[in-house]
Amino acid sequence: MTAQEKDDLACLDATAQAELVARGEASSRELTLAAIARIEAVDGELGAVPVRFFDQALEAADALGRDAAFAGVPFLMKDVGARQEGQPYYAANRALRDADHRAPADTPLGARFREIGLVTLGNSSTPEFGLQSNTWPLVYGPTRNPWDPTRAAGGSSGGACAAVASGLVPVAHASDGAGSIRIPASWCGLVGLKPSRDRVIWRYAGHGRPDVEFVVARSLRDTAALLDELRPAEDRAAHPGRFASALATPPRALKVGFTLRSPTGGRVEAGCVAAVERTVAELAALGHAVEERAPEALDRYEERALFGSLLGPLGYRECLDELEERLARPIGPEDVEPFLWEFAAGADPIVEPAAADDIERAIAWTQRWERSLLDWFETCDLLVTPTVLEPAPAIDSLDPTRLVPLELLERMVPHMAFTEPWNATGQPAISLPLGESAEGLPVGVQLVGRLNAEAELLGISVQLLAALAAPDGRPRVHA
């Protein structure tokens, strides 16, 4: 490949790069070397790829044929979630990093990434154990937004989104437990789909968890094609090409609700309001029935927060248990960040775990709340909201070296207000880059669909991106 052709790769999506390999116009090794060069040249400004294993990636590229769907496409694993055997897995935790912990085996999703030909170059940055809405782990330092490096990239898939938006790789592994795909996708100007619960193959299938794993991408066609490839085998066999074909299938007339009010009561920034207003106006022009309405359950934030304060520490303590298992020793506050230790109730010996009957009441209330959200979609097909109530904030406003854990949490919660409910219900939701702020920062609009209605979401997303997406601008920091 010529130098110009290697530079052009930074602007090609995963589908286009895979086609080069399939036609014999580029080799997997050439794509891998070009991506390595981009990371080495650009990532110093971003801090998106702190864990790199380029030699291993080149060996994998050399061993690939040309038949896999994404053969030779450069890729990053998030440093939390799915794993591939032998690769570093630190979860942005200093103790695991210092022990050079390695994944003992592929997880199901990690194995599938290999099967479809993706070449993993390294791990993208994430907050420790993926627990914050911005990516600033103390072990690595901040990940910066490629549109403006003084701004936050978001989290917890902030490293993945910054890397894809800046052209380092065309697609990257991501996960979403309360908005961790959609928040950074909104702030970095990407397509960010959170699939329905268990839509994508993974190690916790059938457990009813709020978190899901998938990818972040620059193009809708990559999103659809990878959703096709990452489904369980029986679903792929029964419905081949299901989501790619949805891109060419105009959706039926939908009943659409929208809201501009944040569930936490925070002020929604003008650019985010304008993006939603333009979106619902376009939906009406396309023949969909649009009405300003949303589930009443979204307004029950104070109760949600009360019961969440009982259930939340259970998840934090799971992280501590996992860390003890991986280190094979007892752990203490020096092994994790203050944010995790404090909210796992481990920093204060007088804090007692919530009583079992309180936990049962919290679970029962949460289940009723989730049911009421799902019931709303019996009378409406689609809900449109801002993805986040503001564009990417100044990165210093989320500095974990300056803010105590409670201050960090208070700043995070408004960012998750529009996204977290759909993790609880397991519904699909997608953030589309359909607006911009007065400063020229990307603004995402979120579409929430009925359970397992990804095909419908993708079909409507095609229409909206065609009509409303900004011209193909590049971030300030780009390969």
Q: Are 294 and 372 in contact (CB under 8 A)?
A: no
Is 124 one of the catalytic residues? no
Q: For 86, left (φ over 0), alpha (ψ -120 to 50), or beta?
A: left
For residue 431, indicate whether it is catalytic.
Answer: no
Catalytic residue chosen out of the listed positions 27, 124, 156, 437: 156
Token pair 């099967």 in the structure block, residue: 115
Largest CA distance in the chain: 67
Check 78, 166, 196, 262 and give the catalytic one: 78
Nearest-angstrom CA–CA distance, 436 and 286: 22
78 a catalytic residue:
yes
Query: Is the CB of residue 256 less than 8 Å from the CB of residue 291?
Result: yes
Residue 329's φ and ψ, nearest 5 degrees, are -160, 160
Nearest partner of 115 among 75, 70, 56, judged by Cα: 70
DSSP helix/strand/coil, 201: coil
Q: Is 287 exposed, middle or buried (0-12, 13-18, 19+ CB in 10 A)?
A: exposed
Helices (H) and strands (E) in the chain, counts: 18, 13
Q: Scanning the structure block, which residue is given the tokens 């309180």?
A: 358
Instruction: Identify the active-site residue in 180, 186, 196, 219.
Output: 180
Kindly tell me the sign of the dihedral angle through the C-alpha atoms of 464, 468, 471, 475.
negative
Which of the residues are catalytic? 78, 156, 180
